[in-house]
Amino acid sequence: MREPLIYEISSPGRAGVNLPECDVPATPLPKEYLREDLPLPEVSEVDLVRHYVRLSQLNYAVDTGFYPLGSCTMKYNPKVNEEAAKLPGFVQTHPYQPPDTIQGNLFLMYQLQEFLKEISGFASVSLQPAAGAHGELAGVLMIRAYHESRGDHKRTRMLIPDSAHGTNPASTTMAGYETVKISSDARGNVDLEELRAHCDDTVAGLMLTNPNTLGLFDEHVQEIARLVHECGGLLYGDGANLNAIMGIVKPAALGFDVMHFNLHKTFSTPHGGGGPGAGPVGANEVLAPFLPGPIVVKERVEEEPASDEEWEEEEMYYYHWQMPPSSIGRLKAFYGNFAVCIKAYTYIRMLGAAGLREVSENAVLNANYLLSRLKGVYPLPYNRTCMHEFVLSGRLPDAPDVHTIDIAKRLMDFGFHPPTIYFPLIVPEALMIEPTETESKETLDAFADALIQIAQEAKTNPELLHSAPHLAPVARLDEVLAARQPVLQCLK
Amino acid sequence: MVEYAKDRRYLPTHEWVKLEGEEAIAGISDYAQHELSDVVYVELPEVGETFAQNEVFATVESVKAASDVYMPMSGEILAINEDLEDSPQLVNEDPFGRGWFIRFRPSKPEEYDSLLDAEAYERHCREEAEKGG
């Protein structure tokens, strides 16, 4: 059943509230402020509540079903994270409070910085950036500040593999650099020959995602780091795919100089509508002084606490803000998305070091299980053991008229969120699938069964795919018309 | 059926250029518009801007993706196809004709010889399609 628009259930004169009689003289609003072209809907409270509750029930979310959106790491977000973030001691603090009165908050932020340092191998971490691409921008600005601090002004180019996230060239452009695309080779690694040809003293750095957006671990990552460093550039790590390698390898040890973390991917905090993201940045000794700030530091407290005997055995610390010495500055008001940091901290504490490693192992295992069930059915342009995700092509040999968009729409009829489609750009008709570690074998099998059945249908009944979805709240939307002639208001 | 117009030359990145005396016209190929699917927006340069060969001079957006468009030869922009603003579908309907992007004055006419002819470009597209699975 189609849910009507709020304007369609509006009835003239109907109201959700009865205002008490006015006890002051009525003064009409000045005429120039009244808009006759603004027809506000008039509905009763119960109709209003039902309308929005019904709309909320049409939502698809990690809490309602499998969400294999490639490169987004749509893992289940444990509810204990929300409980922790709601604790009164956190909720009732304000960023303008003096540090003495929020030692608990500062302790948590310090600990989270330390955890991220341990996971990544970097020397220092800033929790400032509010999202992944915000973290990328921070990293690129740090690279620029580093070169400029050395009086090296001729570096104007950032090298970016064609298997990178689209945010990489965007962040680079925002930071004032020119983007240079580096091709992938036949195994999906960075093409070393092409990279060598571009390495000179105009290179500011290279932005590498490892594993990359094909879900493949670049086998030459150390050689790439060497080439970039030898020409005086720095290696940026896009940490969006960190879920594949936690506890197994530290990005700093692979040669990365700076990297962002996506707390809303790897560390189970909600994406988008569930709350803001967070994109902390980690850096090695060379780039640490340029981190955005302030960051949290601790100091040993010398004097003994008053009389509590238990405290005497422990070292006492005072936590406070500090701006890194050559910081690129603040990227955001206050100190990052603190409530998101609480959730990521909770997640890390709940799992511990061994648990985090198991997360990555299971993320990779789940992806390879799905891949092994699907690779005979859909073309696999880069046929290798994958990491946490893999990229199939929706170009089925026996069904030339069927496109990836049709397969994705049909998947909705099976109750699944479609994977990322048409990305990465180097795979035509891409289907980018990331199951994450939180899914059971039964869920993975149900998803594989659906995709296998859809591949069958593509041959025997392609029309079923072209007109899909059939069971979603709305049928196939005209995305082309919506993009060419967007109507962005519902007023008559 | 994908067309490969023979009266012009191509970049491997799927742009075409056609010489008309001292001037030239450029756009994207039929193969490219097929791969992009329905074009919904084209961002074009300003008249008077100059670009080097292989430099990005425009962006074309489809429902699937936004793609850079590269300059087939160095030169100065003389005119842009203003019809594309309201009718981006011209790129799909008539990529070699009414879906043209720019008219420009080549500053290095010899660059034309380094471009792919229709036959070589068709071979390139076939190889690319096979690589994709």
pLDDT of residue A306: 58
- Residues 6 or more apart whose Cβ sits within 8 Å of residue A406: A394, A458, A462, A465, A466, A468
Chain A partners within 8 Å of B133 (Cβ): 379-381, 393, 395, 427-429
**What's the structural domain count of chain A?**
3
In this model, does residue B69 exceed pLDDT 90?
yes
Enumerate the H helices of A78-210 as residue ranges: 79-85, 88-91, 103-120, 132-149, 167-174, 192-198
- Interface size A-B, in CB pairs within 8 Å, comes to 38
**One domain, residues A35 and A84:** no
Pairwise CB contact (< 8 Å): A422 & B65: yes
Average pLDDT, chain A: 94
pLDDT at A309 over 60: no
Q: Quick one: A414 and A266 in the same domain?
A: no
Would you say residue A175 lies in a domain?
A: yes
- Is residue A97 in some structural domain? yes
Q: How many domains does chain B have?
A: 1
Q: How far, CA to CA in Å, does A251 sit from each of A165, A223, A241, A242, A278?
A: 18, 14, 11, 9, 19
B contacts of A172 (beta carbons < 8 Å): none
Q: Is residue B100 part of a domain?
A: yes
Residue B40 belongs to some domain of the structure = yes
Q: Is the pLDDT of residue A311 over 80?
A: no
Q: Are residues A316 and A226 in the same domain?
A: yes
Do A289 and A339 reside in the same domain of the chain?
yes
The answer to whether A477 faces chain B, any CB pair under 8 Å, is: no
The alpha-helical segments, DSSP class H, found in A189-337 are 192-198, 221-230, 251-254, 309-313
A271 shares a domain with A175: yes
Q: How far apart are CA A121 and CA A112, in angstroms?
A: 14
Half-sphere exposure in the Cβ direction for A321 (13 Å, CA): 18
B43 located within any domain? yes
Among A383, A395, A432, smallest CA distance to A166 is for: A432
For residue A17, the model assigns a pLDDT of: 87
Domain of A258? 79-349
* Amino acid found at A342: I
Q: Using one digit for the tens of pLDDT, what is the confidence trace for A38-90?
A: 788 999 999 999 999 999 999 999 999 999 999 999 999 999 999 999 999 99
ipTM of the complex model: 0.79
Same domain? For A298 and A272 the reply is yes
Per the domain annotation, does A70 fall within a domain?
no
Dihedral, A296, A84, A119, A389 alpha carbons, nearest 10 = -130
Last residue of a domain, one of A283, A315, A349: A349
In whole angstroms, give the CA distance from residue A262 to residue A278. 6
CB atoms within 10 A of CB B6: 10
CATH number at residue A146: 3.40.640.10
> Which residues does residue B41 pair with via DSSP β-bridges, in sequence order?
B61
Is the same domain home to A174 and A238?
Answer: yes
The tally of CA atoms less than 13 A away on the side-chain side of residue A281 is: 36
Q: Which amino acid is at A286?
A: V
Q: Would you say residue B2 lies in a domain?
A: no
Task: State the nearest Cα–Cα gap between A137 and chain B, in angstroms.
Answer: 21
CB neighbour class for B73 (10 Å; exposed up to 12, middle 13-18, buried from 19)? buried
Q: What is the pLDDT of residue B133?
A: 43
Residue A71 lies in a domain: no
**Do A349 and A179 touch, CB atoms closer than 8 A?**
no
pLDDT at B66: 86
Q: What is the pLDDT of residue A30?
A: 93
Instruction: Kindly report the CATH number assigned to the domain that includes residue B51.
Output: 2.40.50.100
Question: Is A480 part of the contact surface with chain B (CB cutoff 8 Å)?
Answer: yes
Inspect the interface and report whether the beta carbons of A422 and B35 lie closer than 8 Å: no
pLDDT at residue B42 is higher than 60: yes
β-bridge mates for residue A300, sequence order:
A317
Cross-chain residue pair A484–B65, CB shorter than 8 Å: no
For position A2, what pLDDT does the model report? 82
pLDDT at site A288: 98
Task: Flag if A381 and B131 touch (Cβ within 8 Å).
Answer: yes
**Is the CB of residue A213 less than 8 Å from the CB of residue A206?**
no
- Report chain B residues whose CB lies below 8 A from the CB of A188: none
- Pick B132's closest partner by Cβ from A395, A422, A423: A395
Residues of chain B neighbouring A479 (CB-CB closer than 8 A) = 63
Cis amide bond preceding A462, omega within 30? no
A486 touches chain B (CB under 8 A): no
Position A308 pLDDT exceeds 80: no
Q: Measure B118 CA to nearest chain A CA, in Å.
A: 22
B41 occurs within a structural domain: yes
**DSSP state for residue A184 in the 8-state scheme:** B
Average pLDDT over residues B70-83: 97
What order do you get walking across the sheet with A124-126 strand by strand?
A124-126, A281-283, A258-261, A234-239, A203-208, A157-161, A178-182
Per-residue pLDDT band for A449 (boundaries 50, 70, 90) equals very high
Number of other residues whose CB lies within 10 A of the CB of residue A444: 18
Q: Does any domain span residue B1?
A: no
**Domain stop point among A324, A349, A374:** A349
Give pLDDT, residue A38. Answer: 79
Domain span including residue B58: 9-131
Q: Are residues A317 and A378 in the same domain?
A: no
pLDDT-derived band of residue A452, with 50, 70 and 90 as boundaries?
Answer: very high
Distance CA B73, CA B110 (A): 9
Q: Is A466 helix (H, G, I), strand (E, B) or coil?
A: helix
Q: Are residues A7 and A29 in the same domain?
A: yes
d(CA B26, CA A431): 32
Cα dihedral B85, B89, B90, B92, rounded to 10, equals: 140
Question: How many residues would you count in chain B?
Answer: 133
- Does residue A393 sit at the B interface (CB-CB below 8 Å)? yes
Kindly list the residues from chain B whose CB atom is less than 8 angstroms away from the CB atom of residue A429. Answer: 132-133
Across the interface, which of B35, B61, B89 has its CB nearest the CB of A428? B35
Could you give phi then psi for residue B69, rounded to 5 degrees?
-120, 130
CA–CA min distance A481, chain B (Å) = 8
Distance from CA of A179 to the nearest CA of B (A): 11
Q: B38 vs A379: CB contact, 8 Å cut-off? A: no
Buried b (16+ CB within 10 A) or exposed e, A318-339: ebbeeebeebbeebeeebbbbb
Q: What residues of B are in the A interface, CB distance below 8 Å?
A: 35, 37-38, 40-41, 61, 63-65, 67, 88-89, 129, 131-133
The CA distance from A350 to A264, in Å, is 16
The winner for highest mean pLDDT among A19-23, A195-199, A334-338 is A195-199
**pLDDT at residue A164, rounded to an integer:** 94
Determine, for residues A381 and B133 on separate chains, whether the beta-carbon distance falls below 8 Å.
yes
The answer to whether the CB of B16 falls within 8 A of the CB of B72 is: yes
Share of chain B above pLDDT 90, in %: 88
Tell me the average pLDDT across A326-336.
Answer: 94
Q: Assess if residue B4 is contained within a domain.
A: no
- Cα separation, B110 vs B114, whole angstroms: 8
A380–B contact, CB cutoff 8 A: yes
Residue B102 lies in a domain: yes
DSSP tally for chain A: helices H, then strands E: 15, 12
Q: Check CB contact under 8 Å for A427 and B41.
A: no
Q: What is the pLDDT of residue A305?
A: 55
Structural domain includes residue A17: yes
Residue A73 in domain: no
Closest by Cβ to B132, choosing from A381, A421, A480: A381
